[in-house]
Each structure stands twice: as structure tokens, then as C-alpha cells.
Structure 1
């Protein structure tokens, strides 16, 4: 028989046993779905992370004190200490960057750049205006006149902080877009010059922030921004300042980091033998750390998919062996009519591969849909992991070939006379 005839016969045989084929296809499909679905979700999370940590530009960096955790947006997050690094006794890891040190840095750092001081306020506060109020998940952030530019915010309406606002710590603030829409649903711009209550304290709104976008990791539009001098008076506010530095272009970034390190070491009176008791990170370094943590999940996804596919391969081999037994007379008849061992072996191999590829097709479609359902939750675009889609097809082809090889060889070796007498 020609290859096309063998393939057509194999497809007809597969479709004629709908229940058995359907069960086997489902087993394979669930394995591929688990693999593709988790990988798709991880890619969506990676995209969300990169968008979340784009608050500082590529030509900016932040200086924080070296704690076990970095406080990002008021939430405890990833480890700030470099992997494998152990500060010595003189490094004084717990020594925070206080107000005087932050001010001295801003005054003494001579590298051409834009410097902003930041202090995180209490998180999970309630903001009220009249009879409307937000949910208790608003974050207060304190900054200066450079906060908006360095952190990637722009004003939709209103004005920036003045030097007097920052130095006196007046109760003035910017509203994040989600908060403005909650308190002033019909016209967010009406929030300007209104007196709102933040944690039961009155604040005058002087600016409305344009939407920046939120993700599963950072709520960028559920913020209240006031001056750091105002935040330092609030209860449960942060006690260590973050120093943000933005240079003119990317080529100046590394020299600026070196200059900043030397300046802050002098301010914090570190000896030449002491390790830094502060941490400098660029905007993409945090994202890379999160992504590296997610890479371990990819390995778990591969393990889950592999275990499921091994089970599917065993089930497929069992079904093909049963098919050989059931169709012993058919094999004997084909051999009696001149069918060769090769054509019989290929028929059973094609059947096994067709079932595997059907499982791959359904599994890939379901996996992409499940993964992108998660992508919709974290607010990213449609993601298709093409590399893993191709890998899934190859894996299923190999599974089908491996599972069908032994039954195919067994069928091809049947004696035609014995096969025709088989009951």
C-alpha cells in the first residue's frame, strides 16, 4: 500500500473508535494543557512585572538601605541582599537612611542628574470625601518636586509641589486616577482644590495624576502622593528614605552609580574596609529578580506536563496493544492479500501519532486559553508561547511514536495463518 492509503486507513480506524480515542486524546490534552497553560501564565506575569517596574526609567536608579526586604509601593517584597553576599560585622545592615543623610546626599551629590527623595507612608488607608470613601488599600507616598518626573507620573490637572510645600510639609496631595474616579465618579477633575480626608486627616488636592496602569504586583493608580516632610509626621510611616537619581542618558548611569556610592559611603562614615550598608538598584534589576523566581515555576510546569505525558504514553501503548489483539484477524487478512510488515507497522504507528497530535492540538488550544485567562486578570495582552507550542507538538509526536512502536512491531510480526484463525 502507498503511504497516503496507509495514512487514510489509520485515520479512519482512529475516528471509528470514538470513545477509546477520545479518552486517550483527553489524557494527552490535559498534560499539554498543564504545560502550555502554566508557561503562558508565566509569560503574562513576566510581561506584567516588566511593566510594573518601569516606574524608574532606564537611566535612573534608586538607593535604599540594605534590609532583608525592599519596601516597594508600601508592600514587603523581594530580598534586597545579593545572592550569596554576607555583610560583615562592620557593615551595620540595619542602619537606615535617615532624613539628614538623604538631605546631605542631595546637597553633596555633584554628578549632573536629577535627585528625588522619597519616603513611603502608611499603606491600606481609607480616603474619604463627603459620603464617598475608598477601600482600605490606598498607599501614601511622600516625595518632592522631582517625584513625578523620576517615577514616571504626569499631571492630568493641577500643579506640582512647590519648594515651600515640601519644606513645610503642608497637607497637600496628588490623587491617583482610581481614587479620583472613586471619590468623584462623574468628573474626576472636580477633585482639584477639594479637601479630602486621608486616614481622618484633612488634605487639599492640588493635582490629579494621569492613569499609569496597575498590575498584579503594583497598584500604581491607587496612591496618594504628598511631600516626604508630611509623610514623616504620619503614624506607621516608613523610617528609611529612598534616594532616586536620574541622569541625562544611559551612558552616564554606571559613572553616576559609582559617584553615588562614594558620596553615600562618606555620608554614612564607612571605613574603606567596610561593606556598603545600602543597596543600589536599577529599575530593571527588581524585575529580573522576580522573573528569575518565576523561572523555577517553569521547571515545575515542565515536570507536571512530563509526568502527565508519561501516563498518557503508557495509556496509549496499552490501547494500541489492545487494538492489535482485537484486529488480529484484520492483520492476518492484510498479510494474506500481500500486505507487507512495513505497511502494517506504519498503519499502527500512524494511528498512535494521530491520536497524540490530536491530544496536542486540543491541549495547546486549551492551554493558551487558560493561560490568557490569567493574563486578563493581571492586565496584560494576549500571549502565545510559540516556542513551547512547537515543543508540545514535537513531544506529542515522540510520545505517539514511542507508544505505538512496540504494538506496531508486534502486529507486523503476526503469522498470517495463525492470525486468520484467531477468535
Structure 2
């Protein structure tokens, strides 16, 4: 039996995956899995029972990832599940930045009288704008969102340049060959008419765009931030805009300093605020968490490597351990000393930590508990689980 604790309102389409006899939801404080959206868990007293935390969203800065990693708790996110929602909002913001659509609509609402059509026609020139076609867009970060924006902007007739030194092979295959690749991020700053940022918030990306970077841009460049507020130095943006050294700024992160400026559009964090995105994120988070709890497979984790292996043996041992030499030898030796043959085994490391799956042909629960105790007593071990393959056992019964 697994106990799931939720924070925030998680779409029922996702939580439905836990509606069977093997799960309870928000009924037990000793949770095995946590699923959340924006709740801040820094300072939260995690029960020792927690094996994994799944965020129904891409960013995990509201989760104490480093603390959980040391405790052997796997943290998952849902990259790409809300990508289309964010992409559509960025494309809409690009259009709003060159066409004063909002201003024109608000002005019409202020009109009175019977000759509205004539008045609107006579004054529409004050809301004339520009077109995106032929302009250059720079996309910093070519993950799921950035790649979609790059492709759609090209389809709108824009010249697109992307920068991402860490772009994955899978993502690279999805990007149009007509999207130019910037070798240095400075190429984006110096040549683009529009710049949009789509990178995760880390110590390396905090303040990624500040005074020095803005100084490289054209005075007409429009900057967009739909990643995290801390990635762009808002004081530097204000200084540049007030000095006519930046054409405009659109952000999805409210900051009182940015309000009431005609060159700045502030949105109330609408990026993933669509029904479809919330459902997609909830489904992916629930599916990933459930698979890990039932099989030990790790996919889409932000703190541990991807480790997948077909589960066909009666039992699986999962081990989170320090990524040091000879640990695999210790694991194999300990299992062999108990007279157990290993059917299959896989190991992956990531930084200071590693994850190992070991499948064994054992049918006795007591023996597996003995294996668990022996491994837990070894140096460098952080967390050991044994998982019974219920499908295999049911076939024998």
C-alpha cells in the first residue's frame, strides 16, 4: 500500500491514476509520495517514509532538491507537459509587443455616442504597429518550450536564432533546420530584434541578463522573460528602458517596480495557466511517480539519473548510494554471500550520487528483508528498497 500526499489542487485526471486498492490519497501522514504544483516545501518537515516528490510543472525551485537528494528522495518534474501553453503565450506576447492591440481595445471601450464606427475609423492610426515577419528572434534555451517557440516563430516569417550549449539530441531532432545556431550567447544579444529566455533557474542562470547583456542589445530590442523572474535583472531593465536603451520588456512575473510603464507588460504568471496544461502536468507527474513507486524506474528526475530496466523477476532491489568506486562490487558481493543469483542489474551515476537496480530470482519475503538489512548496513548506502513484482507472484498463485 502506497500513501500519496498532495499540495495544491491537482487535476483529477492525474490523480485518477492512484484510484486503486494499492493507494490512499491524503489519508496518512506517513506518505510515500508527494505530488504538488507551486506549494513551497522549503522548511517542510518531510517524513522519513517519503520516497519521491513529483512536481506537476517544470521548475523545482519551490522544492529543497539538494536536501532531498542527500536523504535519498527522488524529485521529479514534468518537462514539456505545459510547453504548448507557454509557447502560445509567448507567441501572443510577441504579437502584442508590435501591435498595440490591448491599447486599441481599451480605447474603443471608452467611446460613447452613436457614431462609434466613424470615430474608431478616424482615430485608428494612433494604434498602428509593426509586423513580426522579417524580424530576428533570439531564443535562449532550446528545451521543450524554446524549441516550439523557435519553430512557430519561423512559421510566422521571422528569422530565428537559438542558443543552447546543452540542447539534448531528442530536442535537436524537433528543431527546424532553418533555425540558426548561435555559437556564443553574445550573438543573440547583439543581433536580435526580439529575445526570449527559456532556461531553468540555477545559480548559473540567476541574473543571466543584466546591465552588461542589455548594453549589447539594440536600443529597439524587446526582451521577454517567461522562465523565472530572477533570471533577468529588473533594475537593469528599468534603467535601460528609462534611458531609451531597450525597446520593451514583457514578463510573466509580477514586480511592483515594473508596473505603470508603457514599455513594460507584466502578466500574472499565466504561462502554464490553461486547463490542458494543468491536466497534462498532473497526468505526467502521477504516471512518473506511480511507476517509480511500483517498479523503481526513474525518468524525468531533476536530482538522479534516468534508470530504466524491464521488471520480469520476482523481486527488485533499488539502491541509492554515493557515487564512489567499488560500491557495485559491494552490492554484488553482499547479494552473492546470501546465496542469491542476480538476474539483471543496471547502474547510473549523476554527480556525487548513483542509482542501482538489481533484479533477483527470490520468492521468499523474509530473505528479501534480510538482503535489505545487510545492504543498509554497508558504507556509502543511502536508501535501499525491495519491490515485489506482483504480476509475477500472481502468475505463480
TM-score by length of 1: 0.23
TM-score normalized with structure 2 length: 0.24
Give the structure with the larger helix fraction: 1
Asked which structure has the greater RCO (Cα within 8 Å, sep 6+), the reply is 1
